[in-house]
Structure 1
Amino acid sequence: MTSVRLDLTDLPEALTGALPDWLPGQRWFAGKDRPVLGVRTRRLTVLRAADPALVLAVVEVDQGGEPERYQLLLGARPELPDWLETHRICDSSGWGCYDAAHDPELAGELLGLIAADREVEDLRFTPEPGVELSTGLRGRPVGVEQSNTSLVYGSQYILKLFRKLVPGENRDLTLHRVLAAAGCAHIAPPLGSISAPDGTLGMLQSFVEGAADGWAMATASVRDLMAEADLHADEVGGDFAGEARRLGHAVAEVHADLRRAAETRLATPGELTALVAAMHRRLDGMLESVPELAEHAEALRKAFDAAVAAGEPIEVQHVHADLHLGQCLRTPTGWVLIDFEGEPAAPAAERARLRSPLRDVAGMLRSFDYAAHQRLVGHSDDHQLTVRALEWAQRNRTAFCAGYAEVAGDPREHAELLRALELDKAVYEVAYEHANRPEWLPIPLSSIARITSGEEPS
């Protein structure tokens, strides 16, 4: 470490030149499908000026249409060691600037600022009321995230840095606070936050040590079934149905806690009409680019319209809104749900909207279907594997709904709405796979065919 201090004078220009090429290579950058037309620096807040320096930056990215804001955590050193060279972003005034999420020492600075309840310029680093945090811990990034960056501190804390920023308090922080106040047993409690006057930059939580990822557990169960030539899903040692039932129970308890602690009401007729109209618009947007969807269009529209035609009252509330097996962690004591931010691609106003809890149920049903069929990618003509995948999916879908019904009403009693929501999610999956993983496209397309033909009950 030297006594030299970082000079920010040239940094905005350096970032403007480097970021159009650097951003598309980051997993969390949402605009990979469009060229970066320009970048403007909106914030440079020095959190540590001496070598190694730490700067929290907010940049505005122009890709046509409304510019989007992203958070960068910049480290800077006069000389970058070899282990940081791969994370270099640009050079400025003789300093090498890099992604500080990969610097354990600088990541630890953020935890120290939250623990000290510090204010730096107009940024607030704040522990939750009554929380006392350990300090001196170094941070390391979690390597599996897509839309944000999380730093783990020992076995105690995890700090999520929100990369794509939205105005106001982030929904993830809001709902975690609501659920913590309600005594919810199925979340990692919030411990602190980083905020600016116009929004949330980070959320600190308890780290769930020893947790198993729900997707990994489910796909391991599918693998075990596929390896057995003669046994059914309920006869294989890795049967997941018991966990699926417990997970359904946990999701229903989270919904119940949100129902008690936050706003709940009946959807208006106009909201239901708007919901179905949005489903039709999503379908319309995909028909031209994915010709394989055309043969299902009429059946999809009938299913969407049936959700309103049923005429049943629909209760809406705050829900997870992007629930799948990858958002569920199995701990030694039960299931924990994470990432209440909502669908990453959805506008902030849409994420904040109250929804039917069946939206989350539909997301989980789709996730079970994906877990079952992902091993068929490239082997869709294998009849035996297909039969086993369908058996596993239906067994676990049924178990999840049964566990949910132990706490709340049985979601299968609202068949028309649940079917429409699942099909809408499948159309979204068609869009995603078409753009990112064309070889996976048969998974949502085959599901649409089964659901619309009545072969696969919700």
Structure 2
Amino acid sequence: MDLHSARFYGAKSEPIDSTTVTAEVAAGDYAWQLLDVVHGGERDVYQVIVDKQQDVDVLDTASGAQTYLDNVAAFGQVHGEFPSATARPLGADQSNTSLVVGDKSILKVFRKLEEGLNPDVELLSGIADCPHVAGVRGYVVRDGRTLAMLQDFIVGGADGFQYALDKGLSSDDCFALGAAIRTVHDALAEAFGHQDVPGTHIRELLHARLDDLVERAEVLREHEDALRRLYDAIPDDAVAIQRIHGDLHLGQTLLTHTPRHWYLIDFEGEPARPLEQRREPDHPLRDVAGMVRSFGYAQAMGGSADAQALLAGYGTGEDPILNALIADKAAYEVVYEANNRPDWLEIPLGALRELMGELS
């Protein structure tokens, strides 16, 4: 099959050296397969449902979705109760594929598989009853890899970023989002604990990350000294780190209307980082910083969102760690835009200049 054209395939810029089927289960007119894909010296494992006559993936079709649900117990070890119901693709997925199961559940099928329990499953199982997440009620594993997870279906949820662009987020909405993030962080700390580390730990991580970022985007060098001074402003005092979302932005939220309520989704962490790194504890303000920068993108694209109300809802204000993490996120965005969307480069660069000016 042509993986390069599949929207879930993540290495489109590199030629595929080889594709090997390492596991296969017949499923009606289709076949479930694990594909070992070698590209650019890297090796990835992908999960597909294939129409063998046409040699195409069909998981995002109605028949493919139903086939997956009906045969899921043959693909791996099932944990929890999976309903016998109709299944259909949710649509609009990219790196994974979500299936609507009946009218109360979503079955999220992970496409690129890694060794270990997926953080989405791990975290959302631990805080399944938190009011601001779609709790996980079951999952499927095979040979140490997480194939899929079953979670509650959020009815009527609008993508937070698109809502900010189309209708604008009120200050009340932004305050409520900040409060929701705080509630989720509190639930994660209760379920998974926390540990105290010195401020030097945060500083060292930020400096090491900047070492990498300036190598990847020359335009960052003019801001390097100012960024390092900002990182060095973090005091030595002990701070608590814990499990967090890890890749939080408005596109990882849903806003329902009746009642008006925020949900955080997709707890996998930054997709480019190895799974074990994504499972490491971090400072909870990293999630807040990610959301502040997402607000910045929404505003740059003509939307509206109130970052001060967000911070008030979360219960934080001026903070040297928050300032450093916002700058770190903007620096990461500079690298991303320079390499992928150069026309957007001024958005994070402008944010860096503004932040440095405010703090100078």
Larger radius of gyration: 1
Question: 1:319·1:357 contact (CA, 8 Å) conserved in 2?
Answer: yes
The equivalent of 1:140 in structure 2 is: 89
User: Does structure 1 residue 35 correspond to structure 2 residue 23?
Assistant: no
Relative distance call for 1:33 and 1:452 in structure 2 (3 A) is farther
Instruction: Tell me the amino acid that sits aligned with residue 401 of structure 1.
Output: L
In terms of fraction of residues, the more strand-rich structure is 2
List per-residue Cα deviations over 1:225-248 (Å, max 9, x = no partner): xxxxxxxxxxxxxx5211010010
Question: 2:137·2:152 contact (CA, 8 Å) conserved in 1?
Answer: yes
Equivalent of residue 62 in structure 2, options 99, 104, 112: 104
Return 5+ residue gaps in structure 2 as ranges: none
List per-residue Cα deviations over 1:411-453 (Å, max 9, x = no partner): x25x221111111111221122222222111101100110111
Structure 1 residue 132: deviation in Å?
6.3
The equivalent of 2:25 in structure 1 is: 45
- Report % sequence identity: 36
The equivalent of 1:328 in structure 2 is: 253
1: CA distance between counterparts of 2:278 and 2:3? 24
Relative distance call for 1:278 and 1:42 in structure 2 (3 A) is farther
Question: 1:248·1:402 contact (CA, 8 Å) conserved in 2?
Answer: yes
2: CA distance between counterparts of 1:427 and 1:26? 30
Equivalent of residue 68 in structure 1, options 44, 68, 88: 44
User: Does structure 1 residue 186 correspond to structure 2 residue 113?
Assistant: no
Structure 1 residue 40: deviation in Å?
2.5
Relative distance call for 1:306 and 1:32 in structure 2 (3 A) is farther
2: CA distance between counterparts of 1:250 and 1:337? 8
Structure 1 residue 39: deviation in Å?
2.2
The equivalent of 1:227 in structure 2 is: none
2: CA distance between counterparts of 1:295 and 1:404? 33
The equivalent of 1:427 in structure 2 is: 331
The equivalent of 2:148 in structure 1 is: 202
User: Does structure 1 residue 401 correspond to structure 2 residue 354?
Assistant: no
State the SS of the aligned residue for 1:454. Answer: helix
Instruction: Tell me the amino acid that sits aligned with residue 442 of structure 1.
Output: E
List per-residue Cα deviations over 1:371-429 (Å, max 9, x = no partner): 00023xxxxxxxxxxxxx7xx55xx1100010111xxxx2x25x221111111111221
Return 5+ residue gaps in structure 1 as ranges: 1-17, 77-94, 223-238, 376-388
Structure 1 residue 273: deviation in Å?
4.9
Relative distance call for 1:315 and 1:455 in structure 2 (3 A) is closer
Question: 2:96·2:110 contact (CA, 8 Å) conserved in 1?
Answer: yes
Structure 1 residue 134: deviation in Å?
4.2
Question: 1:282·1:427 contact (CA, 8 Å) conserved in 2?
Answer: no
Relative distance call for 1:281 and 1:25 in structure 2 (3 A) is farther
List per-residue Cα deviations over 1:97-127 (Å, max 9, x = no partner): 221213312311332345xxx3x2x71234x
Q: Give RMSD over aligned pairs.
A: 2.2
TM-score, normalised to structure 2, is 0.92
User: Does structure 1 residue 287 correspond to structure 2 residue 192?
Assistant: no
List per-residue Cα deviations over 1:46-100 (Å, max 9, x = no partner): 2x1x4x22x2222222223441222222233xxxxxxxxxxxxxxxxxx222212
State the SS of the aligned residue for 1:58. Answer: strand
1: CA distance between counterparts of 2:10 and 2:323? 29
User: Does structure 1 residue 26 correspond to structure 2 residue 6?
Assistant: yes
Moved more, 165-174 or 279-288: 279-288
Instruction: Tell me the amino acid that sits aligned with residue 251 of structure 1.
Output: I
The equivalent of 1:225 in structure 2 is: none
List per-residue Cα deviations over 1:306-343 (Å, max 9, x = no partner): 23xx1122110010000011111112331111100000
Q: Report the count of equivalent residues.
A: 358
Instruction: Tell me the amino acid that sits aligned with residue 313 of structure 2.
Output: G
Moved more, 212-221 or 353-362: 212-221
